[in-house]
Structure 1
Amino acid sequence: MRYHIMTLFPEFIDSATDHSMIKRAKDNGIIEIKSYNIREFSQNRHKKVDDSPFGGGAGMVMSVEPIDGCFEHIIESNQIYKTKCRTIYMSPRGQQLTQEKAQELTQYEDLIILCGHYEGVDQRAVDMIIDEEISIGDYILTGGEIGALVIIDTTARLIDGVLNKAESHMDESFSDNLLEYPHYTRPREYKGLEVPEVLLNGNHSKIDQWRFEKSLEITLKRRPDLFKMFDLKKLSKIQKKIYEKVLNKYK
């Protein structure tokens, strides 16, 4: 997958994606991340990219022209076919990013992400080039770069070869509308705190059952909205008993 980030601060994107698994995925040619400075496409001699809003109001609004110019450059220079591309605007009014949405975005060969600043962007830029607006939460950031990095991270790790094991993302939080179970490693005892005995006996069936039960408990206590969305139809008989046990425990 190729990521194209439209931003006023390309160095923010470049530095943040030059570490850990994202860097390894880039080095191995599994993903490609390019950042584009919107300011370079301004026709203003001072490279101005914003102006005061029509109708008055506080703050400044990013202009449509440099955004559109940057977008056209990305399409043409990378020979992008729009049917295999998704253009996203990071916006607090957008659909909230979920694991399901992240999985959906991996079907595209190219993701173009517009990072806004100031009071936002000229609506004509949104109308002309944006396929969907996405939010990473119900709060306001100073710019869209952090949101763009979240999308890169959440989608890249779902691409084959990015993680060390192909199955390593399957049991993580939100994959089945359940939060993840607790993890432990050496030492077995630390300051009086012991690793649960079930994890030490080598009985993988019992371990799976314990992990499922803990996922249910954590989800029910912390995210009851997700717990209600859990699909009971695919549960085994043993899992259904565990589910009922958890429900009764927290009534």
Structure 2
Amino acid sequence: MTDDRDPAPNAPANTPVTEPLKSHGRLAVSATLRPRELMSETPDLAGVWKAKVITLLPAAFPGILGESLTGKALKDGLWQVEPIDLRIFGEGKHRNVDDTPAGGGAGMVLRPDIMGKAIDFAQNGAPVNREEWPLVYLSPRGKRFDQKMAQKWAGARGVTLICGRFEGLDERVITHFGIEEVSLGDFVLTGGELAAQAMLDATVRLIPGVLGNADSIEDESHSAGLLEHPQYTKPAEWRGHAIPEVLQSGHHGKIADWRDAQSRAITKARRPDMWEAFEAANPPTSKKR
């Protein structure tokens, strides 16, 4: 593969430049100091929600977020994602970012001095108020991510996500920056990139204009503290299974009652924890369900 750039000043006229070009996503140009490898000609879009992701795998972004509705919204400028390559802040010939655990043990730990520089870079220009711009470390020991958290992030100006690797991040970084730890669920992944994409998908779809139909957000699982009712579509009968009669009645009141009853029954059976929280937030009234 050849390169269209001019050859080095002292090179023969016909000498091709073979060094590969580097691309690190839609990063902003600003007057602040930044590593040369993170520079890009793509400017920030004023007032647009933005995700900054500190990762050892910057090529993983936008990933699936660049497809379907979130991808269209990304191209349309409704939101932005900036992957920040942690390796660029590493030390030595190989740009090391980790070292052995203090006190011994298996694996490697992300160094505080390296991660600290990456966080300083990521947070430069971001609001200090964490309500406006959360700073999050994706960790299996963190608070479990849920719809309420997605709604909170979507209402902010942006979010910075730190993707862990190896045995995790030096605790001093978490303490120093007051980083919030968030988990995708009660399991362990090899890194935080998949969790980051899942959380960003849940968040970005709540940004006005991304889905196009606001009503679909209101009716889905978790939005009202309940799991969603069953859904059906044509044909009216399939392999001996018919659409429930009430859904074909055209009676909107009866349909709404049926869907509500289904949501309650499914939530109570499948997620007793959610059902308990829903009952606590919605004490029973004289109306029978």
Aligned to 1:200: 248
Instruction: Point out the structure with the larger helix share.
Output: 1
Q: Distance in 2 between the 1:204 and 1:180 partners?
A: 17
Change (3 A) 1:155 1:234: farther
Greater RCO, CA 8 A, separation 6+: 1
Aligned to 1:80: 126
1:50 to 98, 101, 109: 98
1:25 to 68, 73, 86: 73
1:172 to 217, 220, 234: 220
Preserved contact between residue 42 and residue 65 of structure 1 (Cα < 8 Å): no
1:112 to 153, 160, 163: 160
Aligned to 2:61: 13
SS of residue matched to 1:152: helix
Preserved contact between residue 88 and residue 130 of structure 1 (Cα < 8 Å): no
SS of residue matched to 2:66: coil
Q: Distance in 2 between the 1:199 and 1:106 partners?
A: 33
2:284 maps to 1:241 = no
Matches within 5 A, 1:145-160: 145-160=193-208
TM superposition shift of 1:167 = 2.4
TM superposition shift of 1:204 = 1.0
Deviation per residue, 1:58-115 (Å, 9 max, x gap): 1111112221222222233xx2222232100001111111211222222321200000
TM-score normalised to the size of structure 2?
0.78
Q: Which entry has the higher C-alpha Rg, 1 or 2?
A: 2
Q: Which runs of 5+ in 2 are unaligned?
A: 1-48
Q: Distance in 2 between the 1:99 and 1:53 partners?
A: 35
Aligned to 1:69: 117
2:289 maps to 1:220 = no
Q: Distance in 2 between the 1:80 and 1:5 partners?
A: 13
Aligned to 2:257: 209
TM superposition shift of 1:234 = 8.6
Aligned to 2:177: 129
TM superposition shift of 1:224 = 1.3
2:274 is matched by which residue type in structure 1?
A: L
Identity within the alignment, %: 37
TM-score normalised to the size of structure 1?
0.89
RMSD: 1.6
Matches within 5 A, 1:92-107: 92-107=140-155
Preserved contact between residue 89 and residue 130 of structure 1 (Cα < 8 Å): no
Q: Distance in 2 between the 1:126 and 1:232 partners?
A: 37
Aligned to 2:39: none
Q: Distance in 2 between the 1:15 and 1:228 partners?
A: 37
TM superposition shift of 1:142 = 0.6
Preserved contact between residue 91 and residue 134 of structure 1 (Cα < 8 Å): yes
TM superposition shift of 1:17 = 1.6
SS of residue matched to 2:135: strand
Q: Which runs of 5+ in 1 are unaligned?
A: 243-251
Q: Distance in 2 between the 1:234 and 1:85 partners?
A: 38
Deviation per residue, 1:166-221 (Å, 9 max, x gap): 22211111112210000011111111111111111211111111100110110111
Number of equivalences: 237
Deviation per residue, 1:99-139 (Å, 9 max, x gap): 11222222321200000000001112212334310011111
Preserved contact between residue 41 and residue 69 of structure 1 (Cα < 8 Å): yes
Preserved contact between residue 89 and residue 134 of structure 1 (Cα < 8 Å): yes
